């Protein structure tokens, strides 16, 4: 099995060809906008049927190459499925296939088909990109232009992955242990805003830094936007993307550490499925600040990063429902789970580290008293409940 990865490489573009790339991007955007109008008017979202409707008129109107028009049709259909509403395509990128580009490993260059014909550009890349592209023959790529006017090409390569297999099984066979039983080796991960991620082994990554970073930039943006001057707009362009880049860097680091720990322990990762959590939270009366903080919560990005890193490393990832995982009393949690008929509710302690198992086992046997554990520790433990 393989895992597709995107490798971002900078192009060294001579000044003579910058206008040709911009002309191709503008033609590609115009083609996408024309195709989108026809698709909406005819209510046609099938790639083959839409191709028969728009191929010839779009080629005559834009002067694009044949495969560029085909990629524009696929771009429109793909975006229509991914987002609720498409407003307008901008001339910032061009989708490429195996017929419109070729990567040459020996010279570290790429040949791209523009409206003027095939042009070869040198790549300005480092050892990380070279290692990922070694021995690869990419068949899909995207040519992009940044706000600063630099040109990049994103190659899609297939990285071989290790088989994840089944969740490892362990057996507690201590002498005289009446509670000895077979269980799965799982690291539970609880997601949140105060602590971005907390594992059942007691490790956590605080969200205090990213929260203060977001609050500060929100105030700066509000202050600068109220001025409505040229210099304020220049400042906003300079500040744009900083918050997103920092959040992406942070999620990459957290996901990498989670996958590495799971691989070293030969354990699976159990993460709560927070799909549609914003819809439920936004229906409650809250302040404007709380709504902004909830809507800026990048839990799904962390889930995607963990998913593809775990796929490459051969670590199994399981997504479990988050119901009843934020209770502080283990006895109350177990009663709720058993009433709901969720399987595996008698194995809450197996997601916990060894020094926490004894007090939890005593409490589960007695069914009295309050839990000495913190709520986030119980959250992470309950992630392993539905596993067999």
Whether this prediction's pTM lies above 0.85 is answered by: no
CB atoms within 10 A of CB 2: 11
Phi, psi of 44 (to 5 degrees): -115, 115
pLDDT at position 358 is 45
Q: pLDDT at position 286, please?
A: 81
Residue found under tokens 């409490």: 363
Q: How many CB atoms lie within 10 A of CB 214?
A: 18
Residue 320 CB: number of other CB atoms within 10 A? 20
What is the Cα 11 distance to its own chain's centre?
25
CB 50, CB 39: distance < 8 Å: yes
Q: What is the reported pLDDT for 376? A: 44
Q: Which pLDDT belongs to residue 324?
A: 62
**Residue 253 contacts by C-beta under 8 Å, 6 or more apart in sequence?**
none
Tens place of pLDDT per residue across the chain (388 aa): 788 999 999 999 999 999 999 999 999 999 999 999 999 999 999 999 999 999 999 999 999 999 999 999 999 999 998 887 888 999 999 999 999 999 999 999 999 999 999 999 999 999 999 999 999 999 999 999 998 899 999 999 998 887 766 655 554 444 454 444 444 578 888 888 888 888 877 788 988 889 888 989 889 888 998 988 999 999 988 888 888 999 999 999 999 999 999 898 888 888 888 888 887 777 878 888 888 888 888 889 999 999 999 998 888 888 887 776 555 444 444 555 555 554 444 444 444 434 344 444 444 444 333 333 344 444 444 444 433 3
| Tens digits of residue pLDDT in 95-121 | 999 999 999 999 999 999 999 999 999
Task: Report the C-alpha gap between 153 and 145 in whole angstroms.
Answer: 9
Number of helices and strands (H, E) in the chain?
A: 13, 14
Q: pLDDT above 90 covers what percent of the chain?
A: 44
pLDDT digits (tens, 9 = 90+) for 39-57: 999 999 999 999 999 999 9
């Amino acid at each position: 099995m393989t895992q597709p990865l995107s490798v971002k490489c900078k192009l060294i573009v001579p000044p003579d060809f910058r206008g040709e790339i911009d002309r191709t991007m503008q033609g590609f955007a115009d083609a996408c906008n024309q195709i989108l109008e026809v698709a909406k008017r005819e209510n046609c979202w099938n790639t083959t049927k839409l191709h028969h409707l728009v191929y010839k008129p779009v080629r005559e109107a834009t002067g694009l190459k044949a495969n560029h028009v085909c990629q524009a049709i696929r771009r429109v259909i793909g975006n229509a499925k991914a987002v609720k509403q498409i407003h307008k395509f901008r001339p910032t990128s061009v989708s490429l296939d195996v017929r419109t580009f070729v990567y040459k490993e020996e010279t570290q260059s790429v040949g791209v088909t523009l409206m003027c014909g095939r042009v070869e550009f040198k790549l300005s890349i480092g050892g990380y990109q070279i290692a990922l592209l070694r021995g690869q023959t990419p068949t899909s790529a995207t040519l992009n232009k940044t706000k600063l006017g630099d040109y990049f090409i994103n190659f899609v390569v297939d990285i071989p992955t290790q088989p994840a297999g089944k969740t490892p099984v362990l057996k507690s066979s201590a002498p005289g242990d009446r509670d000895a039983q077979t269980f799965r080796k799982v690291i539970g991960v609880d997601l949140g805003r105060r602590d971005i991620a907390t594992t059942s082994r007691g490790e956590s990554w605080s969200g205090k830094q990213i929260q203060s970073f977001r609050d500060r930039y929100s105030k700066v943006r509000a202050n600068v936007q109220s001025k409505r001057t040229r210099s304020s707009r220049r400042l906003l362009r300079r500040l744009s993307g900083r918050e997103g880049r920092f959040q992406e860097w942070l999620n990459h680091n957290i996901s990498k550490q989670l996958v590495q720990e799971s691989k070293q322990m030969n354990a699976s990762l159990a993460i709560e499925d927070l799909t549609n959590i914003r819809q439920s939270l936004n229906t409650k009366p809250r302040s404007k600040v709380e709504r902004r903080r909830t809507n800026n919560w990048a839990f799904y990005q962390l889930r995607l990063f963990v998913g593809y890193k775990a796929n490459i490393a051969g670590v199994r990832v399981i997504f479990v429902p988050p119901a009843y995982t934020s209770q502080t009393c283990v006895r109350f949690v177990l009663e709720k789970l058993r009433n709901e008929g969720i399987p595996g509710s008698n194995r809450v302690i197996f997601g916990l580290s060894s020094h926490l198992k004894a007090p939890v086992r005593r409490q589960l046997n007695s069914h009295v008293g309050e839990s000495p554990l913190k709520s986030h520790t119980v959250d992470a433990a309950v992630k392993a409940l539905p596993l067999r």
